[in-house]
């Protein structure tokens, strides 16, 4: 009975999460240092997407917006923006998965020896690194050239990248299957009915996460 109540609560939680729209998380507005001046921009005015959501899901596409640090050349600014986009994407995606698992662990009431959200996060990151994150594509660039008070010139690059949501769904599915295989082994060795029931609830929750696919809360 306890297991059934937990599962029902989890189903409500996942259904709500799947229906949620992405909460806006915008890039921080830039405030030029005193004495700095912009020499050039690849567009005028600066395009709106450069201050848009850092990570968002629109239909079957996940969009990532990144900004480079200051560099002496356009080439280095572009490279830094690309690296920033990939690094931020992995961190944001894997943190989201960890949060989902933590919610399940808290609701089911299992200890971390049964399932550790940090370990699941690492497993998901591993799935992304298996060639999946490399499928991000650069879609839009915006470049600026600035001069600081000393007269030194530097470049900044803004990048909008996209990755198919199906790629994240695949990585999430593989992660949930891997974790359920581990849980199945633990269930076989469990000696109490309560522990077996908790593991069953975890496994069913992971199946539901896989079914819903990747979402942002």
What pLDDT digit, counting tens, does each position of 103-157 carry? 988 888 777 667 789 999 999 999 998 889 999 999 999 999 999 999 999 999 9
Tally Cβ neighbours within 10 Å of residue 62.
Answer: 24
Other Cβ atoms closer than 10 A to 206: 25
Whether pLDDT at 83 is above 90: yes
Instruction: Name the pTM for this structure.
Output: 0.81
Q: Is residue 102 classed as helix, strand or coil in its secondary structure?
A: helix
Which pLDDT belongs to residue 115? 79
Per-residue pLDDT band for 13 (boundaries 50, 70, 90) equals: very low
Q: Which has the minimum average pLDDT: 25-29, 130-134, 169-173, 189-193?
A: 25-29
* Cβ contact 165:62 at 8 Å: yes
* pLDDT given at position 130: 81
**Integer Cα distance of 175 and 152 in angstroms:** 48
Percent of the chain past pLDDT 70, that is, above it, reads 84
Q: Per the structure block, which two tokens stand in for 90?
A: 């992995």
Peptide bond into 45 cis (omega under 30): yes
Strands 61-67 and 153-164: antiparallel
Task: Please state the rounded mean pLDDT for residues 154-173.
Answer: 96
* pLDDT for residue 22 is more than 60: no
Average pLDDT in the 190-198 region? 89
Domain ranges of the chain: 2-17+35-212
The confidence score (pLDDT) of residue 31 equals 61
pLDDT at 30: 60
pLDDT at residue 164 in the model = 96
Select the more confidently predicted residue: 6 or 100: 100
């Amino acid at each position: 009975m306890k297991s059934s109540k937990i599962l029902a609560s989890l189903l409500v939680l996942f259904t709500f999460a799947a229906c949620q729209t992405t909460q806006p998380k915008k890039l921080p507005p830039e405030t030029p240092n005193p004495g700095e001046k912009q020499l050039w921009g690849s567009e005028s005015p600066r395009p709106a997407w450069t201050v848009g959501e850092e990570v968002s899901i629109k239909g079957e596409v996940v969009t990532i917006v990144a900004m480079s640090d200051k560099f002496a050349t356009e080439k280095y600014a572009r490279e830094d923006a690309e690296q920033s986009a990939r690094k931020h994407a992995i961190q944001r995606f894997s943190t989201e998965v960890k949060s989902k698992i933590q919610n399940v662990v808290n609701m089911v009431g299992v200890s971390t020896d049964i399932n550790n959200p940090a370990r699941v996060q690492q497993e998901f990151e591993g799935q992304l690194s298996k060639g999946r994150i490399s499928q991000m594509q650069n879609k839009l660039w915006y470049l600026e050239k600035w001069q600081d008070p000393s007269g030194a010139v530097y470049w900044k690059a803004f990048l909008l990248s996209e990755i198919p949501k199906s790629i994240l769904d695949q990585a999430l599915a593989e992660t949930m299957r891997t974790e359920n295989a581990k849980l199945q082994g633990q269930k076989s060795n469990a000696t109490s009915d309560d522990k077996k029931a908790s593991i069953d609830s975890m496994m069913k929750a992971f199946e539901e996460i896989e079914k819903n696919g990747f979402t942002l809360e």
